[in-house]
Structure 1
């Protein structure tokens, strides 16, 4: 019995190695010419310079007013990784994301030192009106501010300017590095297989079901949508009243968003377990529930996001009957 189990484990490991090698070969074909400014070496040079600058700020800062600037610098660095992930080998992506995670933890430690939590006290006193207003977020505190869009629409394969359609894309056997979905209204999108990066812009009343993303997902201006996504990192900007079913290796980031809810990944299709393994997303981390709101710096829970109640979640989404569609 043990021999059979060992044989099965070896076969499974060989299969994962073949899939990983095939995926890495696809990544290599996507690399630009070495003279291009977006090569891996150019990326690493800029990334390391930014990392050292942020680390130095964290090390030397003793002023709480500097914390938002450091947080913004980390956010910009994370966006830089996301926008270049389709050019990078998978190990460079993982290394960069680990560095960003370490910087976030260092910033969190610094925040705890500079803004310590108040100690528990048995002393009771009647709170003033000002104290109540400070402690309880008022409606104008959590509303989404006027938009200051910084993302650009990607010139890449994708679905654009569609309404009331079902759109299906199968990445298996393709060499698509990144995929853009923008300006959709009341559409259902099904993405099968692995892709290196996903970009979403200006979506309303859409349902998005996507297989694993090797790198990052960037999203801006989505409203009344449902997303089922798996990636190493996801950044959500200007989202309203939308639900996210995620599997993600780092903490999801939201900015200028409200009414967003989160639950665990629930997608199925033939071969998804292999795709998740190739993307190094086969393990559930639970990070879908650990959301960072970059525009909410108070110690209390951000009012802009919540956990989606069990009774309101959709069931497993199976894409088995999806047919390939063109973009």
Structure 2
């Protein structure tokens, strides 16, 4: 039946029979239309039949397709939940691929989705993944994966710590970070000027990652290009950074000033901090209050070349398009604001290291 169609899957759950070719063609055509629409927008083109149409229509079109796929996945999960037979293992793998395809579709079209709709879609993906995990535990009992020599009791505090570390590692991996424990950086310093310069060949040393951790009342100056930057537990610090070719992740900071240029910036648990950014995608904040944003204002000899090499040569204006993932209402989040021009620090020149 049409309502049980599983998007982006070569086989439908159930008897293991191939999907009707007509359904496959319809799904392929839908994916092609969405892909073509995305490429057309990137090239500055428009569909002749939609000239003058408001962007709301394109958003509604996407949400309609998203809703159909969501309902189809939920329908298949519901059927398996009612009959949790081990023979459904292959079907669960197919559903997992479908959820991944849907998540990819959101990423490819996120540039035109309003922040509220984008967050809603991402939350839906999280819920689908949780539902898949729940159904999987019914089809494949967890006892098959237990260790025989596992201790009978484990302290609740240790469980919580392990779970927190696991979630952080997953988050870091998604942002492109590897092993931060061996990454070069500045750690455990107070009341110091911390300076480092990277050449194009070094990219921060090692795998190109750099870490700032447990710093208080410090001024950090990083010239050149990095691949990724991780910062946590900074208090009353000033951080000036050249070009980051990948992601910047910030955890647990207070009373700091950050001047950063990066492709992606995520900020967790920040309080009363100012961010001067040049960023290719929308900055993301979570569990943060009193954070303010302004455009990038760093200067040093060679910075234009560094920014150009990192594909950050042009100002995108995304510094003011902030997404608060803990604020799901359609109105402006009260946790962040635009930094008034008369309170901005002006251009910061770190040429003299």
- The match for 1:174 is 202
C-alpha separation in 2, matches of 1:154 and 1:113: 31
Normalising by structure 1, we get a TM-score of: 0.57
Q: How much has 1:174 moved relative to structure 2? A: 2.0
C-alpha displacement of 1:102 = 2.1
The verdict on how the C-alpha distance between 1:307 and 1:100 changes in structure 2, with shifts beyond 3 A counting, is: same
Gaps of 5+ in 2: 1-63, 72-102, 122-163, 170-178
Residue matched to 1:273? 304
Q: 1:154 corresponds to which residue?
A: 180
Aligned partner of 2:265 among 231, 234, 246: 234
- Answer with 1 or 2: which has the greater Rg: 2
Shift of 1:320: 1.1
Q: Is the 8 A contact 1:101 1:250 kept in 2?
A: no
The answer for unaligned runs of 5 or more in structure 1 is: 1-54, 63-95, 115-147, 323-327
Whole-Å separation in 2 of the counterparts to 1:249 and 1:97: 18
Shift of 1:97: 10
SS at match of 1:230: strand
Residue 75 of structure 1 is matched in structure 2 by none
For 1:306, the equivalent position in structure 2 comes to: 337
Q: Does 1:164 align with 2:191?
A: yes
Cα distance change on mapping 1:174 and 1:231 into 2, 3 Å:
same
Kindly state the Cα deviation for residue 98 of structure 1 after the two structures are TM-superposed.
Answer: 10
For the structure 1 residues 107 and 313, does the alpha-carbon distance in structure 2 shift closer, same or farther, using more than 3 Å as the test?
closer
Cα distance in 1 between the residues matched to 2:105 and 2:222:
27
1:202 counterpart = 2:233: yes
Please give the TM-score of this superposition, normalised by the length of structure 2: 0.53
The 1:105/1:166 distance shift into structure 2, 3 A limit, reads same
Contact 1:58 1:110 in 2 (8 A): no
Whole-Å separation in 1 of the counterparts to 2:248 and 2:67: 27
Query: Is residue 289–residue 336 contact of structure 2 (8 Å, CA) maintained in 1?
Result: yes
Q: 2:120, 2:324 → 1: CA distance? A: 20
Q: Which residue of 2 aligns with 1:262?
A: 293
Question: CA separation in 1, counterparts of 2:104 and 2:279?
Answer: 12
Aligned to 1:4: none
1:19-52, Cα deviation, whole Å (9 max, x unpaired): xxxxxxxxxxxxxxxxxxxxxxxxxxxxxxxxxx
Relative distance call for 1:191 and 1:56 in structure 2 (3 A) is: farther
Is the CA contact 2:119–2:325 (under 8 Å) kept in the aligned structure 1?
Answer: no
Task: State the shift of 1:154 in Å.
Answer: 1.5
Distance verdict in 2 for CA 1:106–1:202, change over 3 Å: same
Aligned length: 202
- Residue 180 of structure 2 aligns to a residue whose secondary structure is coil
Residues of 2 paired with 1:214 and 1:293: CA distance? 23
Mark the CA change 1:101 to 1:316 in structure 2 (over 3 Å): closer, same or farther: farther
Which residue of structure 2 aligns with residue 320 of structure 1? 351
Correspondence 1:1-327 to 2 at 5 A: 59-61=68-70, 100=107, 102-103=109-110, 105=112, 150-151=167-168, 154-155=180-181, 156-172=183-199, 173-175=201-203, 176=205, 177-322=208-353
- 8 A Cα contact 1:217 1:234, kept in partner: yes
- 1:291 and 1:159 mapped to 2: Cα distance? 28
With over 3 angstroms needed to count, the CA separation of the structure-2 counterparts of 1:109 and 1:267, relative to structure 1, is closer
> In 2 relative to 1, CA 252–111 (structure 1 residues): closer, same or farther, beyond 3 Å?
closer
Over 6 Å off, 4+ runs: 96-99, 111-114
Distance change >3 Å, CA 167–CA 104, structure 1 → 2? same
In structure 2, relative to structure 1, the CA distance for the partners of 1:106 and 1:58 (3 Å cut) is farther
